[in-house]
Amino acid sequence: MSSSVSTIRAAFDADQFRALGHKLVDRLAGYLGAATGGAKMPVMPGVSNEQLNAAWSSRFQRGAGRFDELVARMVAGSNHLHHPRYVGHQVPPTLPVAALAELTVALLNNSLAVSEMGPSGAAIERSLIEWMTGAVGWGAGAGGVLTSGGALGNLTALLAARQAKAGDSWNDGTAPRLAILASEQAHYSVERAVRVMGFGRHGFVPVPVDETFRLRASALEESYRAATRAGLTVIAVSASACSTATGTYDPLEEIAEFCAAQGLWLHVDAAHGASALLTKRYRGLLKGIDRADSLVWDAHKMMLMPLLVTGVLFKDRAAGAGAFASPRASYLYEDAPDAADEISRRAFECSKPALGFPLYAALSLYGVDAFGQYVAGTYDLGRRFAEMIAATDDFELAVHPDANIVCFRYTGGRGKDLDAVQARARKRIVGEGAFYLVQVRLPAGLFLRTTIINPFTSEEDLAGLLTAVREAAA
Ligand SMILES: Cc1ncc(COP(=O)(O)O)c(C=O)c1O
């Protein structure tokens, strides 16, 4: 046997794996303790892309690397989402047990193309989908799949809408001049899905929002009529629950009413906000969601899961199956006992890891209520942060938050270019690694945007953020 083959065989050595694994877990546990404790470490690595490109250059090809050294560099050159001062995008600090579950999934490497290839993974997925559809309030006819992210989830749901409302697109091609209505604040993946489906630039009809960035339900009728007058066939409305930029929930009940009257498919992009279904205090924000035909729910947002695990859920399981035509693949399906129902027939992916195992493990260990409390806690803190901002005379809130996304700007430098003030403040804070926060452009100008997603973030951290912005803006 050649020496390279024996190198690969040796790489499977169980004792070596054990030793590397123990060292890895020790290192990550130390990191986790320091990060969640808010140790005096920057939230971001503070190195330039050029430095990182050089550090991760093609030296890797020599094969002489040391795993613990690579992990150390990876950790040092990454953003620290477990740090309480991480208030950036809607990506959570992952639950440690979910990361361990992911390690298990990676080593087993069972694909879910057909359940024969990933027996437990497939059963877990079915169980989670049943639980998620139950949380929405749907009955036994509901169904869905887990998929790789909200963007792919939105495309999957809208493909099902097209098949349900616009003829047999899979076989006959997409009918000309189809369109969907969506809030002008919808996540970009909704418009992308429309373009991918071949509806063209007219196919995404933006519906105006009110001053709180909620889709204006009273404008649906006019948007629908205008689209129809322009020769478009509207097949669906996509609502946001909540929107990405400001975390605002669209009025689902009123939108559902409109869809029922017009015979339109209702899709709800609840990638971020569906987890509020698990709370008593905030599930009212989703009132009417059970009237949707489809929805998307990301567990890698408000359920603290590693990227990516998204539920694409359908009220009518059979309609959901219309998203994709059954592929001809005798090597997968000919001997599958329930071929029509195999996961890869209903999802875009062919090979797919056991996406649900980390979530299943976390729910099994901690229970659904713990997640409900976590989500409610972040929404509560969002409101508290908004009150803190409103109580100052040098900050302005973009909108009173529905969720844990809070947008605000520093106005202390009146007379100055406010957009430039926010941009400069953010750059300075992020550059120092004091906090990770982002920015968003709204009609009134540039705002600072925070997502309070880390269970260790406190009021004190948020007060510290306001101080940091004041100092950086000065
Ligand atoms: C409302 C909404 N929909 C969809 C997405 C896209 O999800 P993903 O990043 O998982 O593809 C996001 C991402 O932030 C989102 O906020």
Q: What is the pLDDT of residues 135-146, one digit of tens each?
A: 999 999 999 999
pLDDT tens column, 84-103: 999 999 999 999 999 999 99
Q: Which atom of ligand 1 is nearest to the CA of 186?
A: 1
> In the prediction, which pLDDT does 474 show?
84
**CB distance 150 to ligand 1 below 6 Å:** yes
The CATH number of the domain where 411 resides is what?
3.90.1150.170
Is the pLDDT at 4 greater than 80, yes or no? no
Distance CA 321, CA 343 (A): 10
Is the pLDDT at 468 greater than 60, yes or no? yes
Give 359: exposed, middle or buried? Use CB within 10 Å, 0-12, 13-18, 19+. Answer: buried
Pick the more confident residue, 1 or 239. Answer: 239
* Range from 52-61, 289-298, 356-365 carrying the lowest mean pLDDT: 52-61
Is the pLDDT at 19 greater than 90, yes or no? yes
**CB distance 189 to ligand 1 below 6 Å:** yes
Is the pLDDT at 413 greater than 80, yes or no? no
Residues 316 and 377 in one domain: no
Q: Choose the residue to mutate in 89, 90, 191, 451 for probing ligand 1, maximizing ligand atoms within 8 Å of C-beta.
A: 90
> In the prediction, which pLDDT does 5 show?
73
User: 58 CA distance to ligand 1 centroid (A)?
Assistant: 32
Classify residue 310: in a domain, yes or no.
yes
Classify residue 1: in a domain, yes or no.
no
Residues 195 and 265 in one domain: yes
**Distance separating the N- and C-terminal Cα atoms of the chain:** 68
> In the prediction, which pLDDT does 7 show?
93
Classify residue 70: in a domain, yes or no.
no
Residues 165 and 34 in one domain: no
| Backbone angles phi and psi of 457, in degrees to 5 | -70, 135
> In the prediction, which pLDDT does 2 show?
63
User: 113 CA distance to ligand 1 centroid (A)?
Assistant: 24
| Backbone angles phi and psi of 268, in degrees to 5 | -120, 115
The CATH number of the domain where 323 resides is what?
3.40.640.10
Residues 366 and 448 in one domain: yes
Classify residue 74: in a domain, yes or no.
no
**CB distance 272 to ligand 1 below 6 Å:** yes
Q: Where does residue 198 fall: left (phi above 0), alpha (psi -120 to 50 degrees), or beta otherwise?
A: left
∠ at Cα 40 (389, 431), nearest 5°? Answer: 65
Distance CA 101, CA 354 (A): 10
- Which residue, of 302, 326, 352, is where some domain finishes? 352
User: Chain-wide mean pLDDT for the chain?
Assistant: 96
Residues 342 and 437 in one domain: no
User: 18 CA distance to ligand 1 centroid (A)?
Assistant: 37
Distance CA 34, CA 42 (A): 11
> In the prediction, which pLDDT does 213 show?
98
Classify residue 52: in a domain, yes or no.
no
Q: Which atom of ligand 1 is nearest to the CA of 152?
A: 11
Is the pLDDT at 337 greater than 80, yes or no? no
Q: Which atom of ligand 1 is nearest to the CA of 149?
A: 10
Most confident of 55-69, 209-223, 337-351, 403-417: 209-223
Is the pLDDT at 1 greater than 60, yes or no? no
Pick the more confident residue, 292 or 4. Answer: 292
> In the prediction, which pLDDT does 118 show?
97
Average pLDDT over residues 271-281: 98
Q: Which domain holds residue 279?
A: 110-352
Is the pLDDT at 280 greater than 70, yes or no? yes
> In the prediction, which pLDDT does 338 show?
78
**CB distance 250 to ligand 1 below 6 Å:** no
Residues 421 and 311 in one domain: no
Is the pLDDT at 58 greater than 90, yes or no? no
Selection from 228, 231, 312, 303 nearest residue 269 by Cα: 312
The total of structural domains in the chain comes to 2
User: 187 CA distance to ligand 1 centroid (A)?
Assistant: 7
Q: How many CA atoms lie within 13 A of 121 on its CB side?
A: 28
Torsion of CA 396, 398, 403, 405, to 10 degrees: -80
Classify residue 54: in a domain, yes or no.
no
Residues 102 and 122 in one domain: no
Residues 179 and 235 in one domain: yes
The fraction of the chain above a pLDDT of 70, given in percent, is 99
User: 272 CA distance to ligand 1 centroid (A)?
Assistant: 7
Residues 406 and 309 in one domain: no
The fraction of the chain above a pLDDT of 90, given in percent, is 91
> In the prediction, which pLDDT does 3 show?
65
Is the dihedral angle over the CA atoms 283, 285, 290, 293 positive or is it negative? negative
Residues 32 and 120 in one domain: no
> In the prediction, which pLDDT does 53 show?
92
> In the prediction, which pLDDT does 38 show?
84
Classify residue 4: in a domain, yes or no.
no
- Which residue, of 301, 317, 352, is where some domain finishes? 352
**CB distance 155 to ligand 1 below 6 Å:** no
Distance CA 393, CA 153 (A): 42
- Which residue, of 333, 352, 371, is where some domain finishes? 352
Residues 328 and 452 in one domain: no
> In the prediction, which pLDDT does 415 show?
67
Task: Put the strands of the sheet holding 405-410 in their side by side order.
Answer: 395-397, 405-410, 445-451, 438-442
Distance CA 46, CA 430 (A): 8
> In the prediction, which pLDDT does 340 show?
78
Q: Which atom of ligand 1 is nearest to the CA of 153?
A: 11
Classify residue 71: in a domain, yes or no.
no
Residues 343 and 430 in one domain: no
In angstroms and rounded to an integer, the radius of gyration of the C-alpha atoms of the chain is: 24
